[in-house]
């Protein structure tokens, strides 16, 4: 990876802005999509679920367990950077557990009310290279397939209640306590 890269995706969701906001800014909801995220919790440990079941505020941390066969298997420790309901929410990487990514990631969600029952949900991800870090993880593939899939599946789930079929992780890929076995890259 040679420099800072940007990923921008957008979906129009046929729901009021408040409903879209309540879903996309609550990390525990991401599991419902059937994508790579299979577990989330707050910084207080695997049983710390209160914070991840609501819209998190700036300075709060959450851990996201991500697994996609033959692509990646790691945990991201994220910190919320902005929360301006119902229009802007963002977070950035603080640490990687397991296979460290060669970048710091910052993601910003922007919601725009297009009508009473229509919202544009945009995602902007900035990947900033970490000096001296390399990784073979394909999480940051230039083709943007994960970002686009995430937005398409979120739209489908919110409008029709249908997650990704088949899900990437039909059962948890690891036992409780797995995170304790992983190295942490600050």
What CATH number did the domain enclosing 152 receive?
A: 3.30.530.20
Give the model confidence (pLDDT) of 65-99 as tens digits. Answer: 999 888 788 999 999 999 999 999 999 999 999 97
Q: Which domain holds residue 147?
A: 5-175
The DSSP code sequence of 15-30 is S-HHHHHHHHT-GGGG
| Residue 183 belongs to some domain of the structure | no
| Residue 180 belongs to some domain of the structure | no
| Residue 171 belongs to some domain of the structure | yes
Alpha carbons 3 and 184: distance in angstroms, whole number: 24
Q: How many domains does the chain contain in total?
A: 1
| Residue 61 belongs to some domain of the structure | yes
| Residue 185 belongs to some domain of the structure | no
| Residue 75 belongs to some domain of the structure | yes
Whose CA is closest to 10, among 170, 162, 122? 122
Mutual angle of helices 145-160 and 17-24, in 10-degree steps: 120
Tokens of 95: 């640490």
pTM: 0.91
| Residue 153 belongs to some domain of the structure | yes
Give the model confidence (pLDDT) of 95-153 as tens digits. Answer: 999 977 888 999 999 999 999 999 999 999 998 988 877 655 545 555 557 888 999 99
| Residue 186 belongs to some domain of the structure | no
Task: Provide the 10 A C-beta neighbour count for residue 133.
Answer: 14
């Amino acid at each position: 990876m040679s420099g800072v890269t940007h990923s921008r995706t957008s979906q129009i969701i046929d729901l009021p802005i408040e409903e879209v906001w309540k879903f996309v800014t609550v990390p525990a909801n991401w599991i419902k999509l059937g994508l790579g995220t299979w577990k989330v919790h707050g910084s207080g440990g695997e049983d710390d679920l209160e914070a991840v079941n609501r819209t998190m505020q700036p300075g709060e941390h959450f851990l996201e367990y991500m697994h996609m066969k033959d692509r990646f298997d790691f945990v991201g420790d994220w910190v919320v950077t902005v929360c301006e309901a119902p229009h802007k929410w963002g977070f950035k990487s603080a640490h990687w557990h397991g296979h460290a990514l060669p970048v710091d990631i910052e993601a910003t969600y922007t919601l725009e009310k297009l009508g009473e029952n229509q919202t544009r949900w945009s995602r902007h991800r900035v990947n900033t290279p970490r000096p001296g870090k390399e990784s073979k993880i394909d999480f940051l593939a230039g083709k943007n397939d994960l970002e686009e899939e995430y937005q398409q599946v979120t739209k489908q789930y919110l409008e029709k209640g249908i997650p990704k079929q088949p899900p990437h992780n039909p059962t948890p890929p690891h036992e409780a306590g797995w995170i304790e076995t992983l190295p942490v890259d600050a």
